[in-house]
Amino acid sequence: MGRSVAARRARTLSILVAGALLTAGCSVPAPGGASGDTTAPATSPPAGQEGLAEVYAQKLTWEPCGAAGEAEAQCSWVTVPVDYDKPDGATMRLRMLKVPAEGKAKGSILVNPGGPGGSAVEYARAADLVVAPTIRRSYDVVGVDPRGVGESDPLVCVDGQKMDEIIAQDPTPDDTAEIDASRASAKAFGQACEQKAPELLPHLSTIDAAKDMDIVRAALGQSKLMYLGKSYGTFLGATYAGLFPERAGRLVLDGAIAPELSDEELNLGQAVGFETATRAYVKNCVDEEDCPLGNDVDQGMQGLRDLLKRIDENPLPVTDDARVTQLTEGWASVGLARALYDESSWEQLTDALRAAAKEGQGDQLMELAREYADRDAKGAYHGNIMQVISAVNCLDRPSSPSDDSEVEARIARFEKAAPTWGASMAMATMSCEEWPVRSGAKPAKITAAGSGPILVIGTTRDPATPYDWAVKLADQLEGGHLLTFDGDGHTAYMRSNNCVDNAVDDFFTKGRVPKDGLTC
């Protein structure tokens, strides 16, 4: 995978999206400086899991697997059980990629871009863009595609044409007939997944993936995990810390998710987050000349809603896609969301909205939507994030089915909090309400008592992971430390803010925890 494509996906899925330099005086040594020590391998399974001894003791075989910037990547496979309650049962292999340290390696840092469903293998291949040069010199950067993702027995339930239809469908139903159609579509997709992977589907939860991470840690020969997780990757990292606090070394969780949120609470939080981010974008748009939405923020927000409604009623023509000929409200909303992940895309979004509103053309918004969906203009999807995301989320945060009146009430409640994004985010709960596998999981806070320091980063106008989620996570983690980035876009590290970058680099390389209350 070339660097340009990997970089694009890093910004899209993590989902990644100038400040003052952080001086040494802004940091204090981390308590228990050995928390990041990687010199004493722990290859024994957790207590009570002695049946996992063989997978914990496995040795990795690395082979060259293409360029990673100017470095040569190495790849391997790690074996894990499909069902941790049956350690002697079926196993599966997870794909791993390592970009070796430029100097003498002090150990490995595991990275995950989020999703769920983002490929950590592709993310690690872009190591030069994922971590700073100081870390590249001292640490191997390792990505492992989680079970069901990327090259690790990927869950693919429907073909590309059907996926196009799912994305294109109306995200803001106008009546009970459209609500029922969305419910039927969600149910059919879940059934397709169950038919394709009946044995694997019940074992794609974040807890399963976190247990896999401990086997990876042991296979890498490290007593403690070093980890950088973005977006959903923060939930994966926090879950790992909760399960294995004594093995959690220096963890950085950027764009945090509060673990205790239900599926409905998660979607409502994102609705408000996207509303906040959209207002920030619209303010930027109206401050520039010739904003296609209006002349002030409130007028611009209403103008955006009016445009989406017009597209719902009369989809716009798409001329540069092999399969999609119309930009529906579904595709338009995905394109809009894509641009809100990264403020460097705002100018592109304004051009796309101008083309849609003034010229009646959908090509530019469709281009943004394809980036989000990891799909090219020929109709090929290059990853399975759009399919596996429901499988993971619905095991982690199951939802009970609701009738039409309950859905309508939820839409009204969400729209009151987020007029632009409320309806579509309210409908997002339908996926888990109709999911065929019921896990019985109950979201709960994670304290990870006994872990090393955990650095939690929150961005004040993050659309996908609202800032207050980072505050909640840092507060509930016994070793949590909050770093605030006052800015736009999704996540903060390696997005051209030296204050954030230096804090993370010092934490990984020196064990220094940023000063309490540090805002960049």
List active site positions: 231, 462, 490
Distance CA 266, CA 206 (A): 16
Largest distance between two CA atoms of the chain: 66
Structure tokens at 402: 């609701």
Strands 316-317 and 248-254, by their bridges, are: unpaired
145, amino acid identity: D
Q: Do 504 and 304 form a contact (C-beta atoms < 8 A)?
A: no
Distance CA 27, CA 375 (A): 42
- Sign of the four-CA dihedral 202, 204, 207, 209: positive
Q: What is the dihedral of CA 343, 345, 351, 354, to 10 degrees?
A: -50
Instruction: Count the Cβ atoms, other than its own, within 10 Å of residue 87.
Output: 16
- Alpha-carbon distances, residue 266 vs 189, 258, 474 (angstroms): 21, 9, 17
Q: What is the dihedral of CA 160, 166, 169, 175, to 10 degrees?
A: 160
Distance CA 161, CA 76 (A): 33
* Closest to 343 measured CA to CA, from 401, 296, 269, 285: 285
* Closest to 433 measured CA to CA, from 393, 376, 389: 393
